[in-house]
Amino acid sequence: MQDVRVVLIGGTSHTGKSTVARAVAERLGFDCRSTDKLARHPGRPWRTPEWEPPPHVAEHYATLDVDELIRSVSDHYARLWPRIEELVVDGATGGGPGLVLEGSALWPARVAGLMTVPGTRAVWLTADETVLRERMRSSARYEEMTDQERYLVDKFLARAERFQTLMAQDLDARGLALVETGGLPVGEVADSVLAAVGVPGR
């Protein structure tokens, strides 16, 4: 379908949203953005080449239970929503190349309200819990961590798993598109995303 102007890619952490979004954007010739760049929630509680977690991040995951972590991140995403709506409308109606927007902030119930914006399509990525665990622990270099550091990673993982479960339930209730990433190559997942949003054969 040639009228697609905005592709939204949601999902929990470590389902491959960023990598797949870049691949989809490249195929479509669209810009690619992440909701994570709009404002940072506490973020991942482990060090990466791009991220040094401040002390309050460890405290956040150490002191809140999983339900509290879900409420905290959901409140954060609710605050981001007006800006996300602006990006979608601008991408759909502006004169630019189009937009692929990815991020966990793209909650199904809110995105459903954007499906009336012309040229806007949405899909969510999911991954088996074993895949999420392996990806997360690899990213965190889990085997090299102290017990306390591992505890924080495990709390982040528990939140991600709960988030995905709740998201899948909302998707099912609304009949919205979902793509299982599994261990598939990025190109194959991108193919499935494009087919799900009505742009086959790219």
Are 5 and 92 contacting, i.e. CB atoms less than 8 angstroms apart?
yes
Query: Tell me: the pLDDT tens digits for 17-46?
Result: 999 999 999 999 999 999 999 987 888 999
12, 22, 28, 154 from 188: Cα distances, Å: 19, 13, 15, 29
* Cα 191–Cα 196–Cα 197 angle in degrees, nearest 5: 105
pLDDT at 1 over 70: no
pLDDT at 179 over 50: yes
- Report the 10 Å Cβ neighbour count for 83: 13
Q: In the chain, pLDDT over 70 holds for what percent of residues?
A: 98
Are 75 and 139 contacting, i.e. CB atoms less than 8 angstroms apart?
no
Q: What is the pTM of this model?
A: 0.95
pLDDT at 57 over 70: yes
